[in-house]
């Protein structure tokens, strides 16, 4: 089993998150470079969420934000009125905001002979508005049977949804409207008039969270490849060895190398002085 670590989410769930290796970052950078949000979404689901219990969209966003801080850094730069033209924003402060978010409660609606449980979405990317609406369904009860949507695949979900009364859609839209008031506009960056920094809101009932996370993982591919090249040529090993490590381990080892070279250079300078 690959290394993983525990993480407590805004919903109070505790999950174990897999380590993100350099090859994973490499893939994510390429999806970002090609502006492929569908591929990016599939990659993060396979990489991070395939072995966890089904999480809601806020928990997923929090997990991805935490991983971005851990493996890439805790700051981003946004355009602002400074000497450099940019303002540094702390992602740790953003993370703290999400730790305090109250996850909306589920709602039970009865439609003819069906009892439908509605709640916050679990997907972080939606290919259509219908996909978003139907992702609000958590379970359906008919007769004495209750079917949990987190235990079945998409094909089975479609079959159950097609059997629901037509007026179910109206109840879903009503729930969606109410939910939008709670998590429709969450402030992730506060306006700062001094630095002419605009406020940034995220609507968690849209693709904005996924697009925002994609931007956070969008890094310069040339810089990544350059670091890989220098690591392999200075530290040793192969490119596959580098890709099997995480970026923090590589930086620590590279710093060991830099310190060792500096120590050797200082010793050479000291020896040269003695022989003068």
CB of 47 within 8 A of CB of 64?
Answer: no
CA distance 244 to 23: 7
- pLDDT tens track, the chain, 276 positions: 688 999 999 999 999 999 999 999 999 999 999 999 999 999 999 999 988 878 999 999 999 999 999 999 998 888 777 766 778 888 998 899 888 888 888 999 999 999 999 999 999 999 999 999 999 999 999 988 999 998 888 899 999 999 999 999 999 999 999 999 888 788 888 888 777 778 888 999 999 999 999 999 998 999 999 999 999 999 999 999 999 999 999 999 999 999 999 998 888 877 666 555
DSSP for 153-209, written as a single string = -HHHHHHHHHHS-TTHHHHHHHHHHHHHHHHSSEEEE--BTTTTBPPEEE-SSSSHH
Residue 101 in tokens:
């978010």
Residue 3 in tokens:
């290394």
**In 19-74, where does DSSP find H-type helix?**
22-33, 37-44, 57-71
What is the biggest distance separating any 2 CA atoms in the chain, rounded to whole angstroms? Answer: 98
The structure tokens 């996924």 sit at 210
Give the predicted TM-score (pTM) of the model.
0.89
Q: How many CB atoms lie within 10 A of CB 178?
A: 13
DSSP for 211-266, written as a single string = HHHHHHT---HHHHHHHHHHHHHHH-S-HHHHHHS-HHHHHHHHHHHHHHHHHHHH
What is the DSSP-derived secondary structure letter of residue 149?
G
SS3 275: coil
Residue count of the chain, please give it: 276
List phi, psi (to 5°) of 127.
Answer: -80, -15
Which residue, 175, 73, 65, is CA-closest to 120?
Answer: 175
Contacting residues for 47 by C-beta, under 8 A, at least 6 apart: 18, 20, 24
The structure tokens 């409207």 sit at 177
């Amino acid at each position: 089993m690959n290394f993983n670590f525990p993480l407590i989410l805004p919903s109070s769930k505790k999950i174990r998150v897999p380590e993100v290796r350099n090859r994973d970052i490499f893939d994510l950078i390429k999806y970002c470079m090609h502006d492929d949000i569908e591929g990016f979404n599939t990659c993060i689901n396979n990489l991070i969420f395939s072995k966890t219990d089904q999480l809601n969209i806020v928990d997923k966003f929090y997990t991805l934000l935490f991983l971005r801080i851990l493996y890439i850094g805790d700051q981003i730069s946004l355009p602002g009125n400074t000497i450099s033209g940019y303002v540094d924003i702390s992602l740790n402060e953003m993370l703290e905001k999400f730790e305090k978010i109250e996850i909306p409660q589920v709602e039970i609606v009865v439609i003819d002979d069906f009892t439908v449980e509605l709640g916050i979405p679990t997907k972080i990317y939606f290919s259509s508005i219908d996909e978003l609406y139907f992702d609000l369904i958590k379970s359906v009860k008919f007769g004495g049977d209750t079917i949990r949507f987190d235990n079945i695949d998409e094909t089975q979900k479609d079959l159950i949804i097609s059997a629901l009364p037509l007026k179910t859609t109206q109840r879903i839209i009503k729930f969606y409207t109410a939910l939008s008031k709670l998590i429709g506009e969450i402030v992730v960056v506060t306006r700062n008039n001094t630095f002419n920094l605009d406020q940034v809101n995220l609507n968690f009932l849209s693709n904005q969270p996924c697009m925002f996370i994609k931007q956070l993982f969008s890094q310069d591919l040339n810089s990544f490849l350059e670091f890989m090249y220098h690591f392999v040529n200075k530290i040793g090993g192969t490119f596959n060895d580098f890709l099997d490590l995480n970026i923090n381990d590589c930086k620590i080892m590279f710093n060991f190398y830099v310190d060792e070279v500096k120590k050797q250079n200082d010793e050479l300078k000291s020896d040269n002085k003695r022989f003068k």
